[in-house]
Amino acid sequence: MRKGVWHSLNSSKPGVIALFDPDRIPDKNIVKLTRFVSDCKVNAILIGSSLLKNEDFDGFVLKVKGSAGCPVILFPGGSHQVSRYADGIFFLSLLSGRNPEFLIGEHVKSVFLIRSYNIEVIPVGYILISSGNYTAVEYISNTRPIPRNKPEIVVAHALAGEYLGMKAIYLEAGSGAEEPVPEKVVKEVKKYISIPLIVGGGIRRCMDAKNLIEAGADFIVMGSIIENSPRKFKKIVEFVKS
């Protein structure tokens, strides 16, 4: 199994991770967007989708990998989102939900494929935080997010994830979230865990990034803004890097 992706990423915090959804990015734009985020010096590119309508997932990952200047890591919404061309995979366990399919079921379906592809496995505790609207990941996973005004519940889930052996905790407001994860929640989680903290969803301004990183986020993840407002994305990455 290839090693070094997580070590390299963990050594470059704080940082920014780009998220590519194969269902949102047209084939003709894959190389252009990959080169753009690579030139912005993102720390890694995540690839994944809640649904995955794209029939050529392998081809999508291969195109990204061929143009990326950083690690390409899978961010799977299910066992069908595995590719031999990735450097690693976030082995996500949806800790905030109680649907066994996303706690262990989908994982069991994918393990032999992951092993045969020899890609680095990075166990990540995935926690959904309510964001003000109903997100795709909530619907697909059939789980409810933790209320954003209940930091103690988020902390308990994050700490449980660390005790279960996760290498990172990912707090997610969801794609298209009205608001990012509250700084108070990030600050409280960071106070209790000793593993890296990743935060994504609803980050649209430099101030959002600043507040989250100052609160304790080791990495922020942005996706929709890359296609919708590349100038803002580049500005946020430059802000974080500085």
Here the CATH number for the domain that contains residue 78 is 3.20.20.390
Residue 193 identity (one-letter amino acid): I
pLDDT tens-digit series, residues 80-97: 999 999 999 999 999 999
Query: Residue 134 has what pLDDT?
Result: 85
Asked if the model's pLDDT at residue 219 lies above 90, the reply is: yes
Per-chain mean pLDDT for the chain? 95
Q: Two tokens at 109?
A: 């379906």
- Residues 55-76 have a mean pLDDT of 97
Query: Residue 50 has what pLDDT?
Result: 87
Q: Two tokens at 227?
A: 């296609």
CA distance 136 to 103: 18
- Residues 178-207 have a mean pLDDT of 96
Is residue 215 within 8 A of residue 198, CB to CB? The reply is no
Confidence of residue 2 (pLDDT cuts 50, 70, 90): low
Which range of residues forms the domain containing residue 169? 5-241
- Residues 127-148 have a mean pLDDT of 91
Question: What is the longest distance spanned by two Cα atoms in the chain?
Answer: 45
Query: Residue 236 has what pLDDT?
Result: 97
Query: Residue 204 has what pLDDT?
Result: 93
Q: Two tokens at 70?
A: 């950083």
Asked if the model's pLDDT at residue 1 lies above 90, the reply is: no
Residue among 135, 240, 226 nearest 181 (CA): 135
- Residues 96-100 have a mean pLDDT of 96
Query: Residue 3 has what pLDDT?
Result: 61
3-state class (DSSP) for residue 192: helix
* Cα angle value 55/97/159 (rounded, 5°): 115
pTM of the model: 0.95
Query: Residue 35 has what pLDDT?
Result: 98
Instruction: Output phi, psi for 9, to 5 deg.
Output: -65, -45
Place of tokens 């092993």: 115
* Structural domains in the chain (count): 1
With b for 16 or more beta-carbon neighbours within 10 A and e for fewer, the 189-227 pattern comes to bbeebebbbbbbbbbbeeebbebbbebbbbbbbbbbbbe
